[in-house]
Amino acid sequence: MRIGVCPGSFDPITNGHLDIIQRSAYIYDKVIIGVAKNPTKKTLFSLDERMVMVNDSVGKLDEVETKSFTGLLVDFATDQQASVIIKGLRAVSDFEHEFQMAHLNKKLSSKIETVFLMASHDCMFLRSSAVKEIAMYGGSVNGLVSELVEKMLRDKLSGKSQLA
């Protein structure tokens, strides 16, 4: 059984992430989404909120599970018996950072491969940070994220959020 891990902060999950996750689920027998706790990274949404949004977006995909993790990604992947880390690549600007991470992860665990999927055409310029910025300035993020994420962004930015 081929298990792949799709890691990320998912702050919040976008339709670009979903594109990569859905396509990964066609390729691998099982896909585990690793939502990073990442204490060094300041996130808009709490881990619980990010998990809720990811679960809502991937709930209908049978081969996909969502888990949170702290520590090294390769340790999480090993614990999950995954042989592959799956990443999405958008523009060339992603390459340098992802290239470094893939090599460092390979050095940390030679058994785990990193596989890259090209972002689909309409997700090429979609990133969580841009979604947050658009929402922060009152722009519409419709079509970029799920309805729940849209609502949670509105609530968070208007101070109505309960979970964080």
Q: Which residues are catalytic?
A: 17, 41, 90, 128
Ranges of beta strands (E only) in 37-157 are: 64-69, 84-89, 113-118
At residue 30, φ and ψ (nearest 5 deg) are -145, 140
Can you tell me which of 9, 15, 24, 114 binds ligand PNS, judged by CB under 6 A? 9
Q: What pairing do the DSSP bridges indicate for beta strands 3-8 and 113-118? A: unpaired
Q: Which is nearer to ligand PNS, 51 or 138 (CB)?
A: 51
Q: Is 101 in the site for ligand PNS (CB under 6 A)?
A: yes
Q: Is 7 in the site for ligand PNS (CB under 6 A)?
A: yes
Q: Which structure tokens are listed for 2?
A: 């081929």
Can you tell me which of 6, 21, 33, 36 binds ligand PNS, judged by CB under 6 A? 36
Q: Which structure tokens are listed for 84?
A: 């592959």
Can you tell me which of 15, 66, 105, 146 binds ligand PNS, judged by CB under 6 A? 105
Q: Is 8 in the site for ligand PNS (CB under 6 A)?
A: yes
Return all residues near 18 (Cβ < 8 A) that are at least 6 apart. 57, 58, 146
Least distance to ligand PNS, CB of residue 86, Å: 11
- Binding footprint of ligand PNS, residue count (CB under 6 A): 10
If we measure between CA atoms, which residue out of 40, 34, 26 comes closest to residue 9?
A: 34
DSSP letter, residue 28: S
Q: Is 104 in the site for ligand PNS (CB under 6 A)?
A: yes
Q: Is 114 in the site for ligand PNS (CB under 6 A)?
A: no
**Residues at the contact surface with ligand PNS, assessed by CB under 6 A:** 7-9, 36, 38, 72-73, 101, 104-105
